[in-house]
Amino acid sequence: MSEMQFWTFLFLILTFGIYITIAWRSRVKETKEFYVASQGVPTIANGAAIAADWMSAASFIGMAGMIAFLGSDGSVYLMGWTGGYVLLAMLLAPYLRKWGKFTVPEFVGDRYDDKVRVVAAICAIIISFTYVVGQMTGGGVVFARFLGLSAEWAVLVAAVVIFFYAVLGGMKGITYTQVAQYVVMIIAYLIPAVAVSQQIGGFPLPQVTYGTILSELDALRVQFGLDEFTEAFVGRDGGQLDVFLVTLSLMLGTAGLPHVIIRFYTTKTVRGARYSAFWALLFISLLYLTAPAVGAFTKLNLLRSADGSTANDLPDWIGPWEEAGYVTLNSEGVIETVSNEVGSGADLIVSNDILVLASPEISGLPAPIIGLMAAGGMAAALSTAAGLMLVISSAVSHDIYFRMIAKEQASEKTQMRVGRLAMAAAVIVAIFAGLNPPAFVAQVVAFAFGLGASTFFPILILGIFWKKANATGAAAGMLTGLLVSGGYMIYTLELFGLQANDHIFGISPEGVGAIGALVNFVVTIVVSNFTRPPSDHVQEMVEEIRYPQARIPSSQ
């Protein structure tokens, strides 16, 4: 066992031990504890849990890697994912918390009707499965490189750990596990960033050093056949239009993702839901304000190490990642071109997904920091995957089985059993999907955000702020939004054995969610205006829910 593997094993065993201990001590027996932690989570703890739940493998592993290759256009992830929390805090969180239910489909069912609840539950399952593929892929990257496991075993180990503490502790166990995971994640991200900043610029604040290395990075990127890091609207084929649409899609998706929204049901009060969003943004900003620097530092060190290298004189970090399958060398002479696209013909092809995890190795940092980074990557993947599994479980057991099949007659024990079986099935499907991801981690997660934007965001906004939105309009809007976004993603990606097609008007599958959301809004409004309006009772509830401090009618 190498020194790096020793430290990786040590940190993973320690952190996994903490997560499992928390889950065991938080094990639950009632559905309210399982789904919303009895609505008793303190505000700051909920903010940290939200941050961990949301800062998935895409944020920890994928985002800085995308920034490294996309340059300034990679800022779509920063702007979209953080901007969405402003929408969530202002327009949705306090109102949904006041409603006081377990799940997003449950709110949809109460606001519209049970048929729409089923549509919402199906959408929640599709979105969560799409999202969880990225988490399984991220976990596989960590295990494959740092522990030498095959991809199959890597994803399987990650899935077993997730299943154990998600099933055992439910939302209560997941919440406090995510608090611990946030601490691990942010420490693992910031320590290497500070160390590399000191190494490159002689100053330990990455955000300051970042500005001093951009000229050199621009020159090196051009030398290796890439666009300048600071040049706008060249990193995406669709240019300015696609940058705008991806940013908007990520914003609306953030405010419409079920596993994010459900976290606001766990607070003690409506005020706590709003302040949870504030604390979450504060905790998230520690990583997000550092990510551009990490991407730039890693790309600079990567190009520096490749500059003048040949197949017979490679930097030490390339060999292990090449064996793990994330780096491809296509030249026997001097490395003159570098890319992240398989099939590009570049001399050196490096996956986006490894840049953050490989950053300590590329920079020559000691083995303990490399092991800490691996533990942070796993914390990011596990924290979000657990929340997603709970959404899938609640959609199947609570919204479909309990509400629709058992007609609210099932016992607490039966509901818990169905929920855990649904989660087990979800884990099995996620394992197979995680072994064959359709794109890089950050891109796969962006697809989930696009689906959330085109299905949930419009009907939640209209459900709260427009009394005349009805069940027929909501169902038509969700299904149309899902068809537009999901259909375009299938059309432009290599999925289900189909060949990928060119982007229409340069719009990427990551950006189509904004268009799907617009279609959803239009369809819901038009159909609602031409069909029977909601009952007076529902309209009265909508009027009441607009005022977070007011009381919901006793009949509800």
- Residue 20 structure tokens: 């499992």
Strand, coil or helix: what is 509?
coil
Q: What is the pLDDT of residue 372?
A: 92
Alpha helices by DSSP H, listed for 398-440, are 412-434
Report pLDDT digits (tens) over 320-352.
888 888 888 888 788 888 888 877 788 889 888
Q: What is the pLDDT of residue 257?
A: 81
Q: What is the pLDDT of residue 314?
A: 82
Cα–Cα dist 531/331, whole Å: 65
Is residue 35 predicted with pLDDT exceeding 60?
A: no
* Better-predicted residue by pLDDT, 479 or 396: 479
Mean pLDDT across 187-191: 94
- Residue 445 structure tokens: 């997660």
- What pairs with residue 329 in β-bridges? 348
Is residue 554 predicted with pLDDT exceeding 50?
A: no
- Residue 319 structure tokens: 């060999």
Cα–Cα dist 129/429, whole Å: 8
* Among 8-12, 217-221, 275-279, 513-517, the least confident range: 275-279
- What pairs with residue 310 in β-bridges? 334
Cα–Cα dist 513/452, whole Å: 8
Give 483's pLDDT tier (boundaries 50, 70, 90): very high
Mean pLDDT across 247-272: 81
Strand, coil or helix: what is 350?
strand
Report pLDDT digits (tens) over 121-165.
899 888 888 887 777 777 778 877 777 777 677 778 777 776 776
Q: What is the pLDDT of residue 438?
A: 62
- What values do phi and psi take at 267, rounded to 5? -80, 165
Please check whether residue 193 is in contact with residue 360, taking contact to mean a CB–CB distance below 8 angstroms: no
Please check whether residue 364 is in contact with residue 342, taking contact to mean a CB–CB distance below 8 angstroms: no
Report pLDDT digits (tens) over 58-93.
788 878 888 888 888 888 888 888 888 788 878 887
Q: Which domains does the chain have, with CATH numbers?
A: 3-27+37-299+364-435 (1.20.1730.10)
* Better-predicted residue by pLDDT, 195 or 265: 195
Q: What is the pLDDT of residue 552?
A: 47
Give 40's pLDDT tier (boundaries 50, 70, 90): low
- Residue 57 structure tokens: 């493998």
Is residue 493 predicted with pLDDT exceeding 60?
A: yes
